[in-house]
Amino acid sequence: MLGNFEYVNPTKLYFGNKSLDYLQKELLKYGKNIVLIYGGGSIKKNGIYDQVLEILKACDKNVVEDAGVMPNPTSDKLIEGAKIAKAHKADLLLAVGGGSVCDYAKAVSVSAYCDDDPWEKYFIRMENIDNPVIPVGCVLTMVGTGSEMNGGSVITNRRVNRKIGRVFKEDVFPKFSILNPEYTLTLPKYQMVAGFFDIMSHILEQYFSGEDDNTSDYVMEGLLRSLIHSARIAVKKPQDYEARSNIMWIATWALNTFVAKGKKTDWMVHMLGQSIGAYTDATHGMTLSAVSLPYYYHILAAGLPKFKRYAVNVWNVDPNGRTDEETAKEGLERMRAYMEEIGVVMHARELGLTEDMIEGVADGTFILKGGYKVLSRDEVVDILKASL
Amino acid sequence: MLGNFEYVNPTKLYFGNKSLDYLQKELLKYGKNIVLIYGGGSIKKNGIYDQVLEILKACDKNVVEDAGVMPNPTSDKLIEGAKIAKAHKADLLLAVGGGSVCDYAKAVSVSAYCDDDPWEKYFIRMENIDNPVIPVGCVLTMVGTGSEMNGGSVITNRRVNRKIGRVFKEDVFPKFSILNPEYTLTLPKYQMVAGFFDIMSHILEQYFSGEDDNTSDYVMEGLLRSLIHSARIAVKKPQDYEARSNIMWIATWALNTFVAKGKKTDWMVHMLGQSIGAYTDATHGMTLSAVSLPYYYHILAAGLPKFKRYAVNVWNVDPNGRTDEETAKEGLERMRAYMEEIGVVMHARELGLTEDMIEGVADGTFILKGGYKVLSRDEVVDILKASL
On whether any CB of chain B is under 8 Å from the CB of A319, the answer is: no
Judgement on whether residues B340 and B381 belong to the same structural domain of the protein:
yes
Mark yes or no for CB contact A242/B1 under 8 Å: yes
d(C-alpha A256, C-alpha B196), whole Å:
27
Identify the CATH number of the domain in which residue A207 sits. 1.20.1090.10
Judgement on whether residues B150 and B268 belong to the same structural domain of the protein:
no
Chain A / chain B CB contacts < 8 angstroms: 131
pTM confidence score: 0.95
Judgement on whether residues B359 and B271 belong to the same structural domain of the protein:
yes
d(C-alpha B312, C-alpha A327), whole Å:
20
Mark yes or no for CB contact B4/A19 under 8 Å: yes
On whether any CB of chain B is under 8 Å from the CB of A8, the answer is: yes
pLDDT average, residue stretch A167-171: 95
On whether any CB of chain A is under 8 Å from the CB of B215, the answer is: yes
Judgement on whether residues B93 and B215 belong to the same structural domain of the protein:
no
Last residue of a domain, one of A160, A183, A206: A183
- For residue B317, is it within any domain? yes
Residue B93 above 80 pLDDT? yes
Last residue of a domain, one of A133, A155, A183: A183
Identify the CATH number of the domain in which residue B76 sits. 3.40.50.1970
Judgement on whether residues A299 and A335 belong to the same structural domain of the protein:
yes
On whether any CB of chain B is under 8 Å from the CB of A33, the answer is: no
- For residue B35, is it within any domain? yes
Residue A179 above 90 pLDDT? yes
Judgement on whether residues A201 and A159 belong to the same structural domain of the protein:
no
Instruction: Looking at the complex, report in whole angstroms how far the Cα of residue A18 sits from the nearest Cα belonging to chain B.
Output: 7
Write the DSSP assignment of B164-223 as a string of letters. EEEE--TTTS-SEEEE-GGGGTTS-HHHHHHHHHHHHHHHHHHHSSS-S--HHHHHHHHH
Mark yes or no for CB contact B246/A12 under 8 Å: no
Residue among A366, A329, A382 nearest A154 (CA): A366
Residue B329 above 90 pLDDT? yes
Considering only the beta carbons, identify the residue of B2, B10, B15 that sits closest to A249: B2
Range of B374's domain? 209-387
- For residue A1, is it within any domain? no
Judgement on whether residues A158 and A79 belong to the same structural domain of the protein:
yes
Total of domains in chain A: 2
Q: What is the dihedral of CA B278, B283, B287, B292, to 10 degrees?
A: 140
Q: Are the C-beta atoms of residues B276 and B282 closer than 8 Å to each other?
A: yes
Judgement on whether residues B173 and B275 belong to the same structural domain of the protein:
no
- For residue B353, is it within any domain? yes
d(C-alpha B374, C-alpha B377), whole Å:
10
Q: Are strands A176-179 and A162-167 parallel, antiparallel or unpaired?
A: unpaired
Residue A281 above 90 pLDDT? no
Residues B334-371: b if buried by 16+ CB within 10 A, e if exposed: bbeebbeebbbbbebeebebeeebbeebbebbbebebb
Judgement on whether residues B174 and B297 belong to the same structural domain of the protein:
no
Q: How far is CA A21 from CA A198, A246, A250, B6, B193, in A?
A: 29, 20, 22, 12, 45
Judgement on whether residues A333 and A379 belong to the same structural domain of the protein:
yes
On whether any CB of chain B is under 8 Å from the CB of A17, the answer is: yes
- For residue A6, is it within any domain? no
Mark yes or no for CB contact A215/B262 under 8 Å: no
Mark yes or no for CB contact A1/B230 under 8 Å: no
Residue A131 above 80 pLDDT? yes
- For residue A4, is it within any domain? no
| pLDDT score recorded for residue A37 | 98
- Name the DSSP letter for residue A256: S
pLDDT average, residue stretch B166-176: 96
Q: What is the pLDDT of residues A291-307, one digit of tens each?
A: 999 999 999 999 999 99
- For residue A21, is it within any domain? yes
Judgement on whether residues B303 and B254 belong to the same structural domain of the protein:
yes
Mark yes or no for CB contact B6/A18 under 8 Å: no
Q: Is B143 left (phi over 0), alpha (psi -120 to 50) or beta?
A: beta
d(C-alpha B230, C-alpha B221), whole Å:
14
Interface test with B, best of A219, A228, A244, A247 (most B CBs within 10 A): A219
Q: What is the pLDDT of residues B257-284, one digit of tens each?
A: 999 998 999 999 999 999 999 889 899 9
Q: Are strands A5-15 and B5-15 parallel, antiparallel or unpaired?
A: antiparallel
- For residue B294, is it within any domain? yes
Last residue of a domain, one of A162, A183, A204: A183
Judgement on whether residues A147 and A130 belong to the same structural domain of the protein:
yes
Instruction: Looking at the complex, report in whole angstroms how far the Cα of residue B256 sits from the nearest Cα belonging to chain A.
Output: 12
Residue B361 above 90 pLDDT? yes
Q: Which residues of B touch A258 (CB under 8 A)?
A: 253, 258
Instruction: Looking at the complex, report in whole angstroms how far the Cα of residue A90 sits from the nearest Cα belonging to chain B.
Output: 25
